[in-house]
Amino acid sequence: MRLVVVGAGGRMGQALIRAIGESAEAVLSGAVERQGSAAIGRDAGELAGVGSLGVIVSDDPLLVFAQADGVLDFTSPAATVEFAGYAAQAHIAHVIGTTGCSADDDAKILAAARHTAIVKSGNMSLGVNLLAALVEQAARALPAADFDIEVLEMHHRHKVDAPSGTALLLGDAAAKGRAVDLNENSVRSRDGHTGAREAGTIGFATLRGGSVVGEHSVILAGAGERIALGHMAEDRSIFARGAVRAALWARGRKSGLYSMRDVLGLA
């Protein structure tokens, strides 16, 4: 499968180029960065530290998408919405790892999914998606009146969105287990005289610092006991390998918006 990496010069872009190189079923056919980026014109393999691959980083996504079967996209919400339009036009699979998308961005991505297969997830690792299934099960089993759910996350100092996409994915899994809507039941931050905790809410706490790749815990706190479920990402290759797997799964699949749990059979 011929894959394009957009945001090729980024932390995940470089990890994706390496992961494609390690796959027996995928080949890097193109790499894209934004206009004016210092990466334009460089060899994508050199950029990712794996030696020359003969793929030159371009600022023309339409041209590059026309010669590919799929695109791996870990960029920014605005860029992802633009790439979703181009991937739909080219009828190629679009794997989206970008987090921090607004409801309006998500509506545009859903519209693009009428024309091609899109896999979008706040976390592409096997471990986190298994964790989400476990969180859903725990939230279903434990009464909301007795157990308070809190989602904690820590990431590196460069991360620009909060809570993380993974924290929201885990919150969503907890809400699904409780058969409630996350948006109507979440507390995204606390400060000052907040009053006592409201039963049934799902709380979020965000830490940022250093080089932490990604750490998440979901705590279900009852009277006299606590259950803690968690995941620690030690290397970005876990997300990159998941993204390549998602692209291979999406190839030739009917148009629609899919999740990583669909890809892994954990839905």
Ligand X SMILES: O=C(O)C1=N[C@H](C(=O)O)C[C@H](O)C1
Ligand Y SMILES: NC(=O)C1=CN([C@@H]2O[C@H](COP(=O)(O)OP(=O)(O)OC[C@H]3O[C@@H](n4cnc5c(N)ncnc54)[C@H](OP(=O)(O)O)[C@@H]3O)[C@@H](O)[C@H]2O)C=CC1
Q: How many Å apart are CA 213 and CA 240, to the nearest integer?
A: 13
Cβ-based nearer residue to ligand Y, 85 or 200: 85
For residue 200, the minimal CB distance to ligand Y (Å) is 28
DSSP string, 162-181: SS-HHHHHHHHHHHHHHTS-
Q: Which of 94, 120, 155, 231 is catalytic?
A: 155
Q: Which residue, among 81, 87, 93, 97, has the nearest Cα to 12 in the 3D structure?
A: 97
Active site annotation includes 108 = no
Would you say 166 and 150 are in contact if contact means Cβ atoms under 8 Å apart? Answer: no
Among the residue ranges 13-21, 43-51, 62-70, 158-166, the one whose residues contact ligand X (CB under 6 A): 158-166
Residue 125: exposed, middle, or buried by beta-carbon count in 10 A (0-12, 13-18, 19+)?
A: buried
Instruction: For residue 159, state whether it binds ligand X (rule: CB under 6 A).
Output: yes
Q: Within its chain, how far is the Cα of 33 from the centroid?
A: 19
Instruction: For residue 166, state whether it binds ligand X (rule: CB under 6 A).
Output: yes
The binder of 98, among ligand X, ligand Y, none, by C-beta within 5 to 8 A per type, is ligand Y
The count of chain residues that interact with ligand X, using the rule CB under 6 A, is 10
DSSP string, 116-159: SEEEE-S---HHHHHHHHHHHHHHHHS-TTT-EEEEEEEE-TT-
For residue 263, the minimal CB distance to ligand X (Å) is 16
Here's the x/- map for ligand X, 102-141, by CB under 6 A: it reads as: --------------------xx------------------
Cβ-based nearer residue to ligand X, 68 or 236: 236
The binder of 30, among ligand Y, ligand X, none, by C-beta within 5 to 8 A per type, is none
Using the rule CB under 6 A, which residue among 94, 120, 155, 241 binds ligand X?
Answer: 155
For residue 66, the minimal CB distance to ligand Y (Å) is 17
Q: How many Å apart are CA 27 and CA 161, to the nearest integer?
A: 31
Is 166 annotated in some ligand binding site?
yes
Active site annotation includes 231 = no
Would you say 146 and 223 are in contact if contact means Cβ atoms under 8 Å apart? Answer: yes
Contact positions toward ligand X, by CB under 6 A?
99, 122-123, 155, 159, 164-166, 214, 233
Task: Just list the catalytic residues.
Answer: 155, 159
